[in-house]
C-alpha cells in the first residue's frame, strides 16, 4: 500500500484519536456473539476501535487489526484488554487458515478494486472456520451524503475522491463479492453516530455471511 494512502488514513485517525464512539448495530446479532463468547473475534480493519470497544465492554475477546499504526495505537491507548496486530488487506492475510469463527468488518471492505475485493473475500473465507460467520457493513450506491457517485469513476460504483478510492455497493455487488465466502443475508440500513463526520445518515448494507466449506 503506497505511503500516501497510509499517511492519509493515519492523519484521519489522528484527528479522531481518543476513546472511540460506537453505535449498536451488533445488538442485532446477540445470538451470534454469545455463541462466540469463548472465541477470539476478529475486528478486520478496526479503525479507531469503535466495534472493538463495543465488544470489549461486553466481555468478548477481540483481535483488532488494521494497516494504520495510528489506528492500532489509538485502540491500545483507549481500550482495556485488547489485542492488536498489523494487517494490510492488500496482501495475503498474516493469519492462519480456519482461525476465527466470527469476523467483524465494519466499513472496512469498501476501499478496494474489483480484483482486490475478490481476493480479500477469498482470504476471509480462508481464515474462517467451517460454519464461521462474517458480519459486515458497506456503503450503498445511494450513500449520497458520503460521496456516492462523486469524483473520478475508476470502476462501476468505485470512485476516487478526497485522496482515496471508495466502493459503493448495489445489491448485485453484495451477492457477487460476499457470495465468494458463502451464504449471504443482507438488508438496507442506516448508521448515525455521535461523531462530527456522521451527523448525516449514512446509507449502508448490513451483511451476514456464513462460510461454506
Nearest to 83 by CA among 104, 68, 62: 62
Residue identified by cell 453516530 is 193
Query: What's the pLDDT at 10?
Result: 77
The domains of the chain are located at: 3-211
pLDDT at position 212 is: 83
For residue 195, what is the DSSP state?
Answer: S
pLDDT per position as a tens digit, 151-179:
999 999 999 988 889 999 999 999 999 99
Please write the tens of the pLDDT for every residue from 19-78: 888 999 999 999 999 999 999 999 999 999 999 999 999 999 999 999 999 999 999 999
Half-sphere exposure for 159 (CA within 13 Å, toward CB): 17
Question: Of 156, 151, 160, 212, which is closest to residue 183 (Cα–Cα)?
Answer: 212
**Predicted pLDDT of residue 119:** 98
Q: Which CATH class is domain 3-211?
A: alpha beta
Can you give the pLDDT at residue 193? 66
Number of Cβ within a 10 Å radius of residue 124:
27
> 3-24 pLDDT, tens per residue?
556 777 777 777 777 788 899 9
Could you tell me which residues are beta bridge partners of residue 134?
103, 209
Closest CA to 75 of 48, 37, 39, 43: 48
pTM over 0.85: yes
* Three cell numbers written together for 129: 472456520
Instruction: Give the pLDDT confidence score for residue 82 in this predicted structure.
Output: 94
Q: What is the overall mean pLDDT for the chain? A: 92
Amino acid at each position: 500500500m503506497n505511503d500516501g494512502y497510509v499517511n492519509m488514513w493515519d492523519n484521519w485517525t489522528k484527528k479522531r484519536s481518543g476513546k472511540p464512539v460506537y453505535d449498536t448495530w451488533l445488538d442485532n446479532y446477540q445470538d451470534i456473539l454469545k455463541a462466540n463468547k469463548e472465541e477470539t473475534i476478529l475486528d478486520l480493519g478496526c479503525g479507531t476501535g469503535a466495534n472493538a470497544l463495543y465488544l470489549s465492554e461486553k466481555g468478548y475477546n477481540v483481535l483488532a487489526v488494521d494497516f494504520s499504526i495510528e489506528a492500532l495505537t489509538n485502540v491500545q491507548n483507549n481500550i482495556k484488554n485488547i489485542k492488536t496486530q498489523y494487517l494490510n488487506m492488500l496482501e495475503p492475510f498474516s493469519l492462519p487458515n480456519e482461525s476465527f469463527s466470527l469476523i467483524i468488518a465494519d466499513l472496512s471492505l469498501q476501499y478496494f478494486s474489483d480484483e482486490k475485493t475478490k481476493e480479500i473475500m477469498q482470504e476471509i473465507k480462508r481464515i474462517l472456520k467451517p460454519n464461521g460467520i462474517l458480519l459486515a457493513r458497506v456503503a450503498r450506491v445511494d450513500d449520497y451524503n458520503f460521496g456516492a457517485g462523486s469524483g473520478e469513476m475508476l470502476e462501476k460504483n468505485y470512485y476516487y475522491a478526497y485522496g482515496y478510492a471508495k466502493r459503493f455497493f448495489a445489491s448485485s455487488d453484495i451477492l457477487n463479492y460476499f457470495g465468494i465466502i458463502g451464504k449471504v443475508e443482507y438488508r438496507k440500513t442506516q448508521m448515525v453516530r455521535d461523531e462530527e463526520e456522521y451527523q448525516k445518515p449514512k446509507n449502508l448494507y448490513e451483511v451476514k455471511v456464513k462460510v461454506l466449506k
